[in-house]
Structure 1
Amino acid sequence: MEYGICNLAVIPLRAEPSDRSEMVSQILFGEAFEIVEWKEKWVQITTAIDQYSGWIDRLHVTSLGHLAYKRLQQSPPPLTYRAVTQAWKIIDNTVIYLPAGSSLVFLEGTTSYIGNKRYEIIGEIGETDNLRNIAMSFLNSPYLWGGRTHWGIDCSGFTQAVFRLKGLQLKRDAWQQALEGREVESLLTSRFGDLTFFDNAEGRITHVGIILGGGEIIHASGRVKIEKIDSQGIYSEELKRYTHKLRTIRRYF
């Protein structure tokens, strides 16, 4: 088995080996992956953090040795918590702007190492915040299918990102997240931090958000925003109608 690691701020992960294919997720700085298949321009991979599969551009692959890959799995690296953290790439005196949730791999002091390249981290390292503040930091981030950052995020990318910054790794898609945790009986017994899941007319789970309490939910739909929720689902004041039908509630902490 071959392995790789992301040494860019963000790499798009596509459903098919084509620039025109939809982006199903993103790989952030310092995240490792298994290499499944090589093509002329594309590489099929499976991510280490959530076992999500897709295709990335061959030019975006930085090789990672087997022992280094195992070390990262055994000792997860610290994450960046700010919306933007600067990494000074010492070899060419350039700066990479890292999104929240980037992995500071093989960190020594304030220096992260990827292969023979050193990245001096400018800003706080190892600082975190409470779950509410982390979630609120994403407010007004635009909805982006497959996105995982403050500059564009989808509903399950949002819940995954917020929970990961508090030390809990969720699966990537909403339907996968709905299989984790434990069921909450009803909205009345829910509490802050529970995840609510919503289905479509065919009964397929297609959306997820985070309970804030007081009849409110924060979720990514058009943008990350706070809306009202009741036993029927999410009610949009902007549209004057229900937009998502409540299916189930799950608890993880």
Structure 2
Amino acid sequence: MEYGICNLSVIPMRAEASDKSEQVSQVLFGETFEITEWKDNWVKIITSIDDYPGWIGRLQFNMLGHLAYKRIKQTPPPITHRAVTQAWKINNNSILYLPMGSSLSFIEGTTCRIGDEKFEIIGEIGETENMAVTATSFLNTPYLWGGRTHFGIDCSGFTQAVFRSQGFNLLRDARMQEGQGYALNSLHDSKLGDLAFFENADGAIVHVGIMLNNEKIIHASGKVKIDAIDEKGIFSDELKRYTHKLTTVKRMF
């Protein structure tokens, strides 16, 4: 088995080995993965944090040895405070702008190493902030299929990013996340941090959001926004109608 680690700010992960293929997710700075296939200028990978498969460009990462990969996977990286904004690449004096959720592999103080590259982390590496503060920092982030950053995010990427800031790993897609945690008896029992899941006409899970309390939800739909929610689902004040049908509310931890 071969392994890799992302040494760029954020790279697209595609369904097929083509620039024209849809983006299904993104790999952030410092995240690791297993390599399962090589094809021309593409590499098929399975991410370490959520076992998600996809294709990335073969020039957009560094190779990683088995022992280094195992050490990173067994030792969770420090939670990155959202004030961590940049990584100064000492080798060539360049700057990478880091998205929230980046993994600071092999960090010693404020220095981070990825292979032969050495980075100085610019910003504060602090304690976990309140979930509501992290979640609302994404307000007005545009919806982007497969996105995981403040520059574009999808519904499950949003929940995953916020929960990761709290030290809890969610799986990648809404239908996968619905299999985690335990169901609440009623929406009225929900509190900050519970996840609400929504289904389409066929009964498939197609959307997820974070409960702020038992009447308000923050979610990515067009953009990250706060809407009212009741037993029927999400009511959009902008559209003056229900937009998502509620199926279950779950507590993750």
Q: Is 1:21 matched up with 2:5?
A: no
SS at match of 1:16: coil
Tell me the residue number matched to 1:9. Answer: 9
Segments of structure 1 that go 5 or more residues without pairing to the other structure are none
Is 2:131 aligned against 1:131? yes
Counterpart-to-counterpart distance in 2, 1:209 and 1:217:
6
* Shift in Å, 1:80: 2.4
Distance 1:10 1:146 in 2: 12
The question of whether the paired residues in 1 share the 8 Å contact of 2:88 and 2:120 is answered with yes
Distance across 1 between alignment mates of 2:40 and 2:107: 33
Partner of residue 52, structure 1: 52
1:218-245, CA deviations, whole angstroms, 9 ceiling, x for partnerless residues?
A: 0000000000000100001111110000
Tell whether the 8 Å contact from 1:78 to 1:126 is kept in structure 2 after alignment: no
Q: 2: CA distance between counterparts of 1:83 and 1:111?
A: 16
Give 4+ residue runs of structure 1 displaced > 3 Å after superposition: none
The answer to whether the 8 Å contact 1:83/1:150 transfers is no
Q: Are the counterparts in 1 of residues 44 and 55 from structure 2 also a CA contact under 8 Å?
A: yes
- Which whole-Å CA distance do the structure 1 matches of 2:213 and 2:124 have between them? 30
Deviation at 1:214, TM superposition (A): 4.8
Partner of 1:44: helix, strand, or coil?
strand
State the secondary structure of the residue aligned to 1:162.
helix
Describe the SS at the equivalent of 2:162. Answer: helix
Alignment-derived partner of residue 160 in structure 2: 160
User: Aligned partners of 1:238, 1:83: CA distance in 2, in Å?
Assistant: 32
1:61 is displaced (CA, Å) by 2.8
Distance 1:4 1:211 in 2: 35
Partner of 2:201: 201
Report the Cα distance in structure 2 between the residues aligned to 1:76 and 1:182, rounded to whole angstroms: 24
Q: Is the 8 A contact 1:24 1:146 kept in 2?
A: yes
Partner of residue 88, structure 1: 88
How far 1:193 sits from its partner (Å)? 1.0
Q: The residue matched to 1:213 in structure 2 has which SS?
A: coil
CA RMSD of aligned residues (A): 1.0
Q: Secondary structure at the match of 2:49?
A: coil
Q: Do residues 234 (structure 1) and 226 (structure 2) align?
A: no
Within-5 A mapping of 1:111-190: 111-190=111-190
Question: Partners of 1:183 and 1:227 in 2: how far apart?
Answer: 21
Would you say the 8 A contact 2:141–2:150 is kept in 1? yes
> Given the two structures, how large is their TM-score scaled by the length of structure 1?
0.98
1:34 and 1:45 in contact (8 A); partners too: yes
Kindly provide the CA deviation profile for residues 196-229 of structure 1, in whole angstroms up to 9, marking residues without a partner as x.
0000001000000011115110000000000000
Tell me the amino acid that sits aligned with residue 57 of structure 1. G
Alignment correspondent of 1:42? 42
For residues 83-131 of structure 1, the C-alpha deviation after alignment (integer angstroms, 9 at most, x for no partner) is 6611000011010000000001000111000011100011101332011
The answer to whether 1:219 aligns with 2:224 is no
Among all aligned residue pairs of Structure 1 and Structure 2, give the percentage whose two residues are the same amino acid: 66
